Homo-oligomer: A and B are copies of this chain.
Amino acid sequence: MSLDEGTQKPHERLAALLAGDLDLVNALIRQRMASEHAPRIPEVTAHLVEAGGKRLRPLLTLATARMCGYEGPYHIHLAATVEFIHTATLLHDDVVDESKKRRGRPTANLLWDNKSSVLVGDYLFARSFQLMTETGNLRVLGILSDAAATIAEGEVLQLTAAQDLTTTEAIYLQVVRGKTAALFSAATEVGGVIAGQPEEEVQALFDYGDALGIAFQIVDDLLDYWGSDATGKNVGDDFRERKLTLPLIKAFAAASDDEERAFWKRVIEKGDQREGDLEHAIALLNQHGALEATRQEALAWAGKAKAAMESLPQSELRDLLIDLNDYVVSRVS
């Protein structure tokens, strides 16, 4: 047991416990992001991959494979696969969102250009499919290519739902599954599949990743109004970008009169935002209990994730994955 257990966060403890595997994943990532012919590719990729991301998704694959007793080599390939898919989507997201900062550094689209971000993202997608093909496991290929389609579909849905006040909670959930939960659940499911676990346990691993991912994203969207030192996001980013996240969907549905509805139409649909509007929006969110209701949904999804993981045999890794889930919602507890 590490001396740091009291101060280390669960993902840091996972990284410490799986340090050997994680080193292999990082070496494989560095090897596969190389390009004999186009040096621009490793430049752009390294800028993002080495910017100090938490490697949360590869850790989920390593942890689930290991807790299922996997002893082969392919959890390393699969962990690198999910990190490549994640990195490719970040590169494309920053083009789509016209972002200027990511992980505290200027984005690749700003440092190089949109073209490089699009094409290097494509390269990493292709590399991820090469990596997963090397496992020779058709079932994990199906899971990961389904996840890639769900991710892209969720991103398109988010694009078309932006600024649209008729967006429902069901559409929001679909977007969240696409942008976050699909890769979390694929990461945990393939850990069990590669280890050859029985169907019931694979399902529990999928359920854990799905619910963890949804809780993670709802917390993120809640903190955008609630605020937190930890996220590094400014309060109100989603409001300024007119994104239909759960707090806003709930507040608009609960709007008590035409004046409130007119306010939301002006700031979200028309994008006419003035001094004091964010504060007024937050006041409305509180008045209708939208923040508290959103928080309760995050806690409910975290409860599902915990129950799924608790259905599996006890182990140090299982308990760390439960701690990780608790930690995700602790930011709003």
A interface residues (Cβ-Cβ under 8 A, vs B): 35, 37-41, 89, 92, 95-96, 114-116, 118-123, 125-127, 129-130, 133, 136, 138, 141-142, 145-146, 148-149, 151-153, 155-157, 159-160, 171, 174
Contacts and interface: CB of A to CB of B under 8 A. Distances in A.
Main secondary structure of the interface of A (DSSP, over half): helix
A39 B41 CA distance: 33
A122 B37 contact: no
Given A145-B130, A148-B129, A153 B118 contact: no
**Copies, count:** 2
Contact of A119 (B122, B125, B133, B155): B155
B152 A123 contact: yes
Given A115-B159, A130-B142, A141-B141, A38 B95 contact: no
A77 to B, nearest CB: 13
B125 A96 contact: no
Q: Which 6 A-B pairs have the closest CB atoms?
A: A126-B148, A123-B152, A126-B149, A129-B145, A122-B152, A38-B156
Contacts of A115: 95-96, 159
A177 to B, nearest CB: 10
5 contacts: A38-B157, A114-B114, A116-B159, A130-B142, A136-B138
A136 B133 CA distance: 11
A123 B153 contact: yes
Contacts of A123: 149, 152-153, 156
Kindly name the residue among A129, A159, A171 whose own CB sees the greatest number of chain B CB atoms within 10 A: A129
Contacts of A89: 122
A149 B35 CA distance: 10
A130 B152 CA distance: 13
A152 B92 contact: no
Contacts of A122: 89, 92, 121, 125, 148, 151-152, 155
A320 B151 CA distance: 41
Given A92-B119, A122-B148, A125-B148, 16 more contacts: A37-B171, A38-B156, A38-B157, A38-B160, A40-B160, A41-B153, A115-B159, A119-B159, A120-B156, A123-B153, A125-B125, A126-B148, A129-B145, A129-B148, A130-B142, A141-B141
A156 B39 CA distance: 9
A129 B133 CA distance: 10
Contacts of A146: 130
A225 to B, nearest CB: 25
A41 B39 CA distance: 33
B92 A159 contact: no
Nearest to A146: B130
A129 to B, nearest CB: 4
Given A95-B114, A145-B133, A174 B37 contact: yes
A40 B159 CA distance: 9
A156 B119 contact: yes
Contacts of A155: 119, 122
Contacts of A152: 119-120, 122-123, 125-126
